[in-house]
Amino acid sequence: MEVLEKELLQASVGKVLRNEPLANHTTMKIGGPADLLVEPSSLDNLKKTMAIITANGAKWRAIGRGSNLLVSDKGIEGVVVKLGNGIDHLEVDGEKVLVGGGYSLIKLATVLSKQGLSGLEFAGGIPGSVGGAVYMNAGAHGSDMSSILERALILFEDGRLEWLTNEKLEFSYRHSILQTKRPGVCVEAELHLKAGVRDEIVSSMQKNKDYRRETQPWNYPCAGSIFRNPLPDYAGNLIEKAGLKGYSVGGAQISNQHANFIVNTGQATAADVLNLIEHVKTTIREKFGVNMQTEVEIVGR
């Protein structure tokens, strides 16, 4: 790592931190250290970063705003590439939007609604980055990213960058090809929205944002929805019917406000959260015969 760190610093790619606690970079405030954390200061510097990582044969993974992520207490081996400041550009040309993967999804929904562009109202209360939203086809209120995305610039495991169309991303419920068949990270997205009545769009987005604020526990560190909805049922409904609201393991607790959220009440560890997830899975399987699948991404050593 010392050689790699030195090369990255010499190339002035951006922020380079050794043994950086990932609890500082996740919304759940949980996670051990990354051997190296790099936050490239531009798309060009991201390309340089990946070239250096690839040349050194180092392990790596990318993160955004850390909102759908549970990182192991032992951290992540190799390099964590954070897509944030520098990969958060925004260009609006009529109904076409080109946005960096590190751009805040909530901020994007707010900015575009004020410009009278419709299509992202559903995202008004979804934390995280544009790149993460494309990766998992984030959605709410009957819509998702697949409904507005034209194409995305993807960073693949071998360091290559390639544009993939909506069709090639093979979107489905909370899923894209980037999670399975072609692991990769969205670093830039081209969206197509529709011009509409500004006040109506802003009002609709605000209602969605208010609903999430009223029904979800964002006053505690959390990672968003923990389980995928076992359609046609809902994860939160099953967990609540099982009597698990408020159930805790260590510092991790099933929210009393929304049962599909696990909150960090203060000193929760990743082990606490994982044990709580397993307890929920076992309980729901025994009571209802349903196999629960996690929506949150679990990574690290």
Would you please indicate which residues are annotated as catalytic (active-site) residues?
174, 225, 295
If you ran DSSP here, which 8-state letter would residue 172 be given?
Answer: B
| Count of other CB atoms within 10 angstroms of residue 277 | 21
Residue type present at position 270: A
If you ran DSSP here, which 8-state letter would residue 179 be given?
Answer: G
Outline where DSSP puts E strands in 68-129.
69-71, 76-82, 90-93, 96-100, 117-118
* 8 Å CB contact between 105 and 97: no
* Nearest one of 155, 144, 157, 198 to 40, comparing CA atoms: 155
Task: Map tokens 């759908």 to a residue.
Answer: 68
